[in-house]
């Protein structure tokens, strides 16, 4: 049986690989994609999602328009040097992509109701939309979601956008704090594991020759652009981390990540804005059980590369 997944994303190169991975993985039934600002502006994020769904022949999957900026109202900075001007590296979704249907935010409520306790939310972008759910509809709005698989934060390692903070938490720290405090059953995939989820150019070259999927033409140009940026930022790096694939793979491969339960808080202001905090002392302060989040602290990196390769080599993507 496949997991019903509602994905919140901001494609972005690694988000785009996450969307392709979700469409190709037979254990995932992608039931909607909430596309908001983040790596690119909201409108571009929506177009990229629409392009990937159309390439995959899955225009039936609803796209929901997400947020255009963070709760603070601050101006958003985008990252064309990492993700490309349009978010897919050098690739521009074709002009023939027209009449993309975009659902309003309240479609999320409809989807939660439709899947009636059998829905996982995977979030790989800024946390603004999830926080808005609580702000708009109250603290119980997501009680029927079985679990939240989130990419965000950094524990006991440096950040990637400031010395302290990871990008998804930094750009909307108020939202990240809100979600970590109000959502239940959170499985968090921070930089300390996702930085190691490296895909090498050798794997990409192999897939760009041999992947029988409709995504084949995108794989190499999108990856190479993103990898070039990583090589500039992290001299000597052997490949590029596909952060956003990790929570989806962890969901469908329960032995991929080892988690430890701790209450996560997020700094909302000041120099450490966006920093994720948890008590890792051998005897941490006692916290109410419902406030604990599962923090990914170790991941099987060989398995990550193998499962990624196998998934992009799948010849058909009928759901099991």
- Where does this chain bind ligand RIB (CB under 6 A)? 12, 14-15, 38-39, 124, 151, 160, 166-168, 243-244
φ, ψ dihedrals at 56, nearest 5°: -80, 0
Among 15, 86, 129, 293, indicate the residue that binds Ca ion (CB under 5 A): 15
The residue range among 14-22, 225-233, 269-277, 301-309 that interacts with Ca ion, by the rule CB under 5 A, is 14-22
CA-to-CA distance for 238 and 96, rounded, in angstroms?
37
Give just the sign of the alpha carbon dihedral 40, 152, 72, 134: positive
Which one of Ca ion, ligand RIB, none interacts with residue 172, CB within 5 to 8 A by kind?
A: none
> Nearest residue to ligand RIB, using CB?
167
Among 125, 190, 247, 296, indicate the residue that binds Ca ion (CB under 5 A): 125
Among 55, 63, 120, 124, indicate the residue that binds Ca ion (CB under 5 A): 124
Which one of ligand RIB, Ca ion, none interacts with residue 166, CB within 5 to 8 A by kind?
A: ligand RIB
- Residue 178 Cβ vs ligand RIB, minimum distance, rounded to whole Å: 18
Angle in degrees, CA 293, 296, 297, rounded to 5: 125
- Residue 45 Cβ vs ligand RIB, minimum distance, rounded to whole Å: 11
Question: According to CB under 5 A, which residues from 239 to 298 bind Ca ion?
Answer: 244
Residue count at the site for Ca ion (CB under 5 A)?
Answer: 6
Binding region for Ca ion (CB under 5 A): 10, 12, 15, 124-125, 244
């Amino acid at each position: 049986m496949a997991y019903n997944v509602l994905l919140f994303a901001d494609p972005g190169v690694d988000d785009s690989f996450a969307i392709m991975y979700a469409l190709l993985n037979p254990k995932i039934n992608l039931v909607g994609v909430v596309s908001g600002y983040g790596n690119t502006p909201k409108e571009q994020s929506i177009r990229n999602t629409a392009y990937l769904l159309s390439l995959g022949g899955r225009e039936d999957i609803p796209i929901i328009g997400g947020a255009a900026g963070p709760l603070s109202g601050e101006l958003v900075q985008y990252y064309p040097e990492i993700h490309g001007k349009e978010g897919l590296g050098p690739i521009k979704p074709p002009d023939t992509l027209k009449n993309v249907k975009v659902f309003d935010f309240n479609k999320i409520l409809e989807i939660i109701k439709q899947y009636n306790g059998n829905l996982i939310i995977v979030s790989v972008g800024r946390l603004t939309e999830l926080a808005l759910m609580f702000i708009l509809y109250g603290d119980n709005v997501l009680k029927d979601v079985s679990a939240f698989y989130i990419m965000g934060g950094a524990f006991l390692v440096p950040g990637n956008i400031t010395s302290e903070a990871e990008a998804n938490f930094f750009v909307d720290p108020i939202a990240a704090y809100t979600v970590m405090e109000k959502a239940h059953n959170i499985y968090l995939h921070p930089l300390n594991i996702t930085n190691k989820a490296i895909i090498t150019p050798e794997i990409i070259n192999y897939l760009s020759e041999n992947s029988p999927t409709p995504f084949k033409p995108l794989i190499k140009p999108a990856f190479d652009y993103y990898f070039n940026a990583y090589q500039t930022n992290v001299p000597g790096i052997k490949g590029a981390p596909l952060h956003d694939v990790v929570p989806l793979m962890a969901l469908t491969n329960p032995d991929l990540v080892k988690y430890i339960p701790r209450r996560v808080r997020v700094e909302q202001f000041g120099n450490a804005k966006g920093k994720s905090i948890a008590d890792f002392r051998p005897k941490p302060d006692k916290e109410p059980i419902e406030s604990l989040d599962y923090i990914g602290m170790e991941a099987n990196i060989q398995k990550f590369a193998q499962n990624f390769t196998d998934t992009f080599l799948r010849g058909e993507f009928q759901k099991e």
